[in-house]
Structure 1
């Protein structure tokens, strides 16, 4: 077998940055999945779901630059010990903010093959893992907030980039499940890369009571936010997953969401699972609402 360091191109090893296991190594207060029958997973750096045997998916976030890929093997062991699959979100940048490229540099780099080896190195290891793996590349491409350098591109450019990267990934990991994961806004269909490149569709659903009441005039339910987004993708005929889920508000608001997100809704027959984002927000919420803390231990705002 090829040695790990030989599989990782120099660009991926530069800077000496080691991404942590991206899963909780220390369990704080133990948490349980919300009530309901829909399969449930989590991105869980604090490890609050580490002892919950009901979870079916462990979500990881991985930059494709400045990263030690050996942590993926540890994540594989962690997931298998808990009978969980892996969903790996591959973000096409570095997490070192002062070293990030511009959108135009990233677009040209993908087009010319500069980043083929980054994707190939990651997917080679994913293919070597024992867990079932879903690859989610360059998520929320329909977002216009400025958070991601791969978002709000000309749709044809994004589609071409997605297709190229999935072709590279499948060349070394033919059995991975591929997720296309828009935020869920109007016009998302322009970014659809085609049935041959999508196995499952992911959507993001976040509820922030304070923002909703001030900006929208009233608090929103899970279905208020998810419903329109589901309608925009259900016509593609693919399974749908809530790939990122979070909610913050008073006790009543959180309780309402908690009892809604895992229910079996006849009107959403393609919805197959939800995956919680158990971490504080890393990019400012619009209208000066700061960084909501989606962690299950912190999401109830005391009045």
Structure 2
């Protein structure tokens, strides 16, 4: 009788084990690692008590202009087109909303000057432009985060400052910071790679970066076509974070975007935000609330639209 009971117990154990393995397999097939994380962590819904970051937004259509949960306004500036009145308007508008300003300064140049841009910056050709811009920023009544020549390790031809010679980039970046830092009383400098392999070659040194920025984008169609699955926020971010963690700087997610319907975007973002509790060096998440630029993704894909409903970042009290 004991042998029969033992056999029954063994079969029940095997059936339960097979059921659990099957459930996990379906989770991985249907939703990838994101679903597996939900099974293994039994994660709670995100509430303000669990929130470990503040939020910012790049919001050219002003959809978050009245949102009281936004701490940082993000603007992209072509340094050829910066003028006194335009900068002052941004500074005043941001201060009046009680927000900080994140300025991504893009050193665009005419086509015939692209190949020598970084050498020219290093050689002082653009010193007057740099000091002029930074003197304007100094009039801000709120702190300013300055993100110069971002995503430099993506040498695709999209950005003239993304060059295959890291030393050339480092020299130009250091010159910008060295000229700008003495002119801004409340400015912080953000060295901001995309987060790709090889970024460490472009690290300018501890004294030239107050924060490190990263870009986190989730385009499900692209991922399904190229990797046959969707990636969770944690998967995309943690791989990038591991490449910069040894630099021991606070981190800003300077560009974050996800495509899909409202429910999918909200769920993907909130699960990712909840997971940031494991990354105390991450201070701010800045959402890219706009359509992407043409040419940023392969031509076989539509230009992704990252717009979200503001409620996706409005975390409930409980």
TM-score, L = length of structure 1 = 0.81
Contact 1:35 1:262 in 2 (8 A): no
Give matches, 1:6-155, under 5 Å.
Answer: 36=48, 37=51, 38-93=53-108, 99-155=110-166
Deviation, 1:255, is 3.1
Contact 1:39 1:56 in 2 (8 A): yes
| Equivalent pairs, count | 262
Is 1:206 the counterpart of 2:208 in the alignment? no
Change (3 A) 1:131 1:55: same
Equivalent-residue separation in structure 2 for 1:121 and 1:168 (angstroms)? 10
Unaligned runs of 5+ in 2: 1-45, 311-318
Contact 2:291 2:307 in 1 (8 A): yes
Aligned to 1:291: 303
Deviation, 1:265, is 2.9
Structure index of larger Rg: 2
Deviation, 1:67, is 3.0
Structure number with higher relative contact order (C-alpha < 8 Å, ≥ 6 residues apart): 2
> SS in structure 2 opposite 1:262?
helix
Which region of structure 1 is more displaced relative to structure 2, 269-278 or 100-109? 100-109
Q: Which runs of 4+ in 1 moved over 6 A?
A: none
Deviation, 1:291, is 1.1
> SS in structure 1 opposite 2:103?
strand
Deviation, 1:35, is 6.3
Is 1:166 the counterpart of 2:177 in the alignment? yes
Is 1:255 the counterpart of 2:263 in the alignment? no
Equivalent-residue separation in structure 1 for 2:47 and 2:86 (angstroms)? 32
Deviation, 1:101, is 4.6
Which of 168, 173, 186 is the matching residue for 1:157?
168
Aligned to 2:250: 239
Change (3 A) 1:283 1:152: farther
TM-score, L = length of structure 2 = 0.77
Give matches, 1:275-290, under 5 Å.
Answer: 275-284=286-295, 285-286=297-298, 288-290=300-302
Change (3 A) 1:113 1:39: same
Contact 1:64 1:92 in 2 (8 A): yes
Deviation, 1:278, is 1.1
Contact 1:209 1:253 in 2 (8 A): no
Aligned to 2:236: 225
Deviation, 1:238, is 0.3
Aligned to 2:4: none
Note the aligned Cα RMSD (angstroms): 2.0
Unaligned runs of 5+ in 1: 1-33, 299-303
Deviation, 1:68, is 2.3
Change (3 A) 1:241 1:292: same
Equivalent-residue separation in structure 2 for 1:295 and 1:249 (angstroms)? 9
